[in-house]
Amino acid sequence: MKQAGALIRVSTSRQLEGTSPEKQLEGVRALAVSQGFAIADVHAWTMAESGNLRERAGFRLALDAIGAGEIGRLYVFSIDRLGRNLLELLLFLRDLEDRDVECWEAQGGRRLRWDDFLVQIEGAVASKERQEIVRRSQDGLRRAISAGKFSGGIIAYGYRLNPVSKQLEIDPEESAVVRLIFDGTVGERLSTVEIADRLNGLGIPTRYAKDGRQIRRGKRAPEHTAGIWRAGRVRNMLKNPAYTGTWEWGKRSSKRPPSDRIVGACPAIVSVETFEAAARVLAVNRWRRERPADRPYLLRGLIRCGDCGLTYVGSASHVAGGKEKRYYRCNGATQWHKLGRAKCPSKSLVAGELEAVVWADIQAFVQRPEVALEQLRAVRAPLDATLGERLAEIDREIRELHRRERNVIRLAAESTQADPRALDDVLGEIRGSLASLEAYQSQLRARLQAGEALERELFGVAERLSRLQQAIDQADFSQRRRAVEELVKGIEVATRVEDGRKTPVVTITYRFDDLGGPPVPTSGLFSGELDRTSELAHVLTGAMEITREWGPGWRDRAIGP
C-alpha cells in the first residue's frame, strides 16, 4: 500500500463530541484504506499548538515527509481541523498541489483544492468562527480581570495568589524585600549591583531558592539556580508597575498589539511617587556608572540626537602627524547598518570644543552662583505670578470632566444599545485624566501656600554649588565628571542645513534640583483641549533648569535669560 500522512488538530483538552483525536484518526484511516493508502503511526501528527500554520510542528513535519518522498497524500478530518485562517489555509493547499500531493477531508470524503469555491467559503466561515472564539475568550478574560482576578502567568515577587478568590495578595516577607529595594534606590541612590550585593549579604533567598524550584537550561536536565540576586533581576523589579497596584495582561507577547492588553488591579506595595523616583534614579545611574575606556569623554551618555533619537558616543580619528582628535558621533550615523535603519544625517561634534563650553558654564555656575540664582528666579517668577489663574483653569477642567463622567454613567444606565466596553474605556480615560489633573492641582496649591518656597529652593541650590566650588579649580577628570553628573541634565543635538552645509545646534540643559525634581503626574489626558495642563506641569518641573544653545561656527548664546 502507498503511504499517506494525517494531520490531527487538537484545539483544547476537552474536545467536542465526535472530534477527539482518536475519532479524527479513525475517520482519516478509514478513508485512506478505501483509497489504497496506509497511515503509519509515525506519519500521524497531532497538533495542539496555535499560531501560523507553517510555524506548527505538525505542518513542518508533514512537508518534510512529502519532500523526502515518505508520503504521497495528506488527510485531515475536516477543513476547520486543518486551520482557521483562510489565507494560510489556501496557501498551504496550493503548496501541496505544487508538490503534486493531494489533501483529502475524511468528514466529507472529498479532495480539498485551494481554488475550490466551496472550500474557500468554508475556510472563510472557519476563520470567522475563530474570530468569534477569540472575541468571546477576550471578553470573558476582560470581565474576570476587571473583577480583580489574576489571569495566570508569572506572579511578581512580593505577591502570592489566593487559591479561593484567584486574586493577588501581598506576601508579607517578600513585600518587605521589595520595599527594601525601592528604599535603597530612592533613599540611598544605590545602583542595582549594590542592591543585589546587599540582598546577597543579608542572606535573603530568591524565590526559586526559597521554593526549591528548578529550571531547564537548553536540553540539559532541570537544575537548581545559583540562588543569588543579580543586578538584572533587581532592575526588572524596579521597572515593574505591578508594585504600584496595576498589572497588564498581554504585555509579554510580541505578537499581541498594545490595544489588546488588559489592565488588572492588585494591592500596591510602593507608591506611584516612589516608583517614579526610582525610575529617575535608574535613568541617572545608567550613564553614571563607570566603564573602562581608552579615552576620557566628559559628556559620555549625556548627548542625544534630535534627529533620530539615538545617543552620541565617543569616537577618535587620527590626523596628520599621528595626532588624535576626539569626536562625539551619533549612533544612527555610525551603526545604522547594524540597526537596520536609514543613516542619520546628523553632524559630528569635536569633543574638546563642546566639553570646553560645558565646563566653562559649570565653572561660571560654581564660582558665581548668583548667575544661576538670578536666572532661576526669572524662570520661576512668571509661574508664581499666575498661580491663581492656573488653579482656576484646573478647577474648570476638573468640573468639566466630572460632568462628562456623570453623562457617561447616565448613558450606561439608560441606553440598551451602547457598547459596555466602549463606555468602560471612556470612563477609564476620564478618570485617568481626573487623577492627573488633581495631582497637578495639589502641586500648584502646595506652591501657592508656601510663599517662601522659591527662596528655600534657591538656598539649596546655592549650597550644592558651594560644595562643588571647593575643588573646582584643580579638578581632575573624575572630579569634573562628578560635577557634570550633578549639573548637566542632558544635551540634544539638532543638525541644520544652512547654505548647503550641515551645522549642529546644541541645546544644553543644566539642572539645579535633585535628580529632576518632584514627580509629575504622567497619566494620559482625556482630550486634546487639556494638553496645556501637561505643558504647565513641564513648566513646574523645569523651573530649576537653565538651557543654552551653542553651535560651532553658528552662534553661541551665552548663559543668560
Residue in the structure block whose three cell numbers are 551665552: 558
How far apart CA 371 and CA 71 sit, in angstroms, is 85
103: confidence class by pLDDT, cuts 50, 70, 90: very high
Question: Any idea what DSSP says for residue 518?
Answer: S
Q: Is the pLDDT of residue 456 over 80?
A: no
Residue 39's pLDDT is 92
> Which residues is 9 bridged to in the sheet?
47
Taking the complete model, does pTM exceed 0.85, yes or no? no
Amino acid 452 reads E
Residue 553's pLDDT is 60
Q: Is the pLDDT of residue 539 over 60?
A: no
* Residue 550: its H or E element: strand 545-551
Q: Which residues contact 273 (CB under 8 A, 6 or more apart)?
A: 519
Q: Is the pLDDT of residue 411 over 60?
A: yes
Residue 516 DSSP SS3:
coil
Q: pLDDT tens digits, residue range 181-209?
A: 999 998 888 889 889 998 888 888 888 76
Q: Is the pLDDT of residue 449 over 50?
A: yes
Question: Any idea what DSSP says for residue 303?
Answer: E
Cα angle for residues 347, 547, 272 (degrees, 5° grid): 105
Q: What is the mean pLDDT of the chain?
A: 77
Q: DSSP letters of 198-253?
A: HHHHTTPPPHHHHHT-EE--TTSPPEE------HHHHHHHHT-GGGGTEEEETTT-
Q: Which whole number is the average pLDDT over 456-462?
A: 64
Query: Which residue from 182, 190, 298 is spatially nearest to 239, judged by alpha carbons?
Result: 182
Q: Is the pLDDT of residue 178 over 90?
A: yes
Residue 496's pLDDT is 86
How far apart CA 392 and CA 404 sit, in angstroms, is 19
End-to-end CA distance of the chain: 92
Q: Which of 102-111, 128-137, 235-244, 451-460 has the lowest mean pLDDT?
A: 451-460
What are the structural domains of the chain?
A: 2-142 (3.40.50.1390), 159-214+227-288 (3.90.1750.20), 303-386+448-556 (no CATH)
How far apart CA 243 and CA 266 sit, in angstroms, is 8
Q: Is the pLDDT of residue 9 over 70?
A: yes
